[in-house]
Structure 1
Amino acid sequence: MSTKVLISGASIAGPALAYWLGRYGFETTVVELAPALRGGGQAVDFRGRTHLTVLERMGVLDELRALGTGGSPMTFVDRRGRQLLRLPADFAGGDVEVPRGELAQVLHRRSLPHTEYLFGDSITAMEETPTGVRVAFRNGAPREFDLVIGADGLHSNVRRLAFGPEEDYVRHLGYYAATWQLPNYLGLPPGSVGLNVPGRLAAVGGDHRDPTRAGAFFVFASTELRYDRHDVAQQKALIQDAFAGLGWEVPGLLESLRQAPELYFDSISRADVPAWSSGRIALLGDAACGATIGGMGTGTAVVAAYVLAGELARACGDHRTAFARYEHTVRDYAQGCQKGGDRTGPFLAPGTATGLRVRNGLLNRRWILDRMLEMGKQVSSVDLPDYTTELSNAVASGVLGGGVGLRAARHRG
């Protein structure tokens, strides 16, 4: 009998884990609060040997390269639209940059043949039993699974239910960020151009696929705000208040916000969980070690999903052994990547006029910019086992039998 695994979250980490678990013969279900796969969002990037190795082993690297944006240049202007700083496309683009929504579609499609997806539902309670985890859902009937994985982001529902309240693990870093889609009425090319004033950035850029569409990206400094994360109207009002009175193109962008059907709005925060598992329940991606922006969270989530699935297959579903090996392999690497998120807000929207002048002055010096580009390529890495080859060899030699590992033998490379 195969191991039944429930994954909470269908963004990036969840489908990536489901893909690998399906390859190894696990019976996998993904539950997602949203009614359908979420599109849109900012471009996300993959950097360095570790990210590319996992993408290649998944068989998606060439597909993502074909979808790649080529990077997104960033231009910062003053209230009169005069250029203060321009950063080239490779400054933030990494080795492969793709729209987040398109990455989600690729991972969902790859995982679908061996995964049950439950959209428009969420976990309301979990009870660990001697043989599994009894799970109650908001809409569906209760079910029992062998394991539950929280891949549901910085505000993880699984972490709250199994580990404790969010405030015990998530720390606000002093900024908020928002993105939404709008018509490209300014005729902008891909990339972004944004007004920078102390503590605020209001940016907009053309869509990489559709020249008639554009995306807005706003960042502002603030103490921690109390608001309903599911109340879009309330979030729009917070953004309107934060950017009221600014010139340049900001009034038009705020007007487009009123009409936007979808909005991403969240604090720039980080999650630090002392232990990533408790009994039969484990955390993955931002739920365990998250940084909202700038912490290479997407690449880290894909790497962590690869390791978690591989260790579960290697241990034949023995969650105690697998969870310990997973955390031992990934934690230091993930925390090294996560540190970049601490600097994102102050970099994008320095809190003072002096801070803005210093950043612009430094990065307008070509040798300093070149040095930062070089440093950006020197990302953290970790040596990863080749689980597929290892499991295939184990099946061939008779060490592994049953369901776990059999699909790995059929899907080499």
Structure 2
Amino acid sequence: MSINLPRGTQDILPGQVEKWQAIEGKAREICKKYLYREIRTPIFEHTELFLRSVGETTDIVQKEMYTFTDRGNRSLTLRPEGTASTVRSYVEHKMFGDAQQPVKLYYVGPMFRYERPQAGRYRQFVQFGIEALGSADPAIDAEVISLAMTLYKEMGLNKLKLVVNSLGDKESRSAHREALVNHFKPRINEFCSDCQNRIEKNPLRILDCKQDRNHELMSSAPAIIDYLNDYSREYFEKLQKYLTDMDVSYVVDPNLVRGLDYYNHTAFEIMSVSEGFGAITTLCGGGRYNGLVEEMGGPETPGIGFALSIERFIAALEAEKVDMALNESVDCYLISLGDAAKDYTVKLLHGLRSHGLKAERDYLDRKLKAQFKAAERLQAKFVAVLGDNELNNGVINLKDQATGEQREVQLNQFIETLKSLK
């Protein structure tokens, strides 16, 4: 009986995983420049965490969470997103008392959602995300957005569209909520059962409905931007000014909402506009979530963040045909002829690696020609050939694969010679 991987998951094999490593490495490099520090949280949390933070009316909570009861009869859930866990950790470890404020964090790790698998979307997927906690300055909103755009652009993506909107503060959202109820309620029976449940609990979520997105009332629904009070409007105008000052191009979309309940003020998405990328164009989404820390039992603390899918990042790179220039070559491949030479290459290989060189040797007792073929497949820059006679004479033959130049090198000087040539 053969056992296959579960639906909605994938094996990331050698040859492909290097792309993931390159993106994650670049993300860490940029976060270091922006002074964001890594946080690692558990893959599963108490279910209540997501009910309180993500929102009971969201699709994630109602339809997509992997929830189970453990042997202690506790309800646990595989994390569907990273913000809730990060904020829970922020509160639990009293990071609001740290001397360095705001607290700026990033995470990279697997998330889990039970949804229909499709191109670039999996039930287990990897997110990179950042959270900045402790500042209500729209300048840090601009910083968060610019960090995401910088990551995409430094990896080679150019066909991007940044969309921003304001969801307003509590007062603005309350006025908008009333307008939405008045707009949809007379014809709510024409909408799906989810939207009918949301009309009283959270009418903003109706705008995010995939099933009814083409209904005529959607295009004429009241826009939150028309209900912003003076404070919210000024906040949004400052954000736009800062983005313009940083030469970050953007488009204001009054219909943009985020799928999680904790967002307010700034909301944004970054999309791919590359031809052939697919119908679902969103690469990254985020926004401000003032109030979430208090919901978790912490002090009043503003926050903002984003999350992006590594899978969709790679799909966008492939759509734009970006050459990631992954260097998979080795510095030196050792070829041995004879039992004594073969034994000696074990020590020699270890010496090369100990001096920071990428090196490999044959482990299959292949003939000379096959060993050279193996060196070519590994794109070896140099090939070193050691036979029993050479070993007895304390020398080794070194060939530059790019030029074809060959030289005889003293064995006791081989590693230093190779380092200097590299």
TM band (smaller chain): under 0.3
TM-score by length of 1: 0.25
Does 1 or 2 have the higher relative contact order (CA < 8 Å, sep 6+)? 1
Query: Which entry has the higher C-alpha Rg, 1 or 2?
Result: 2
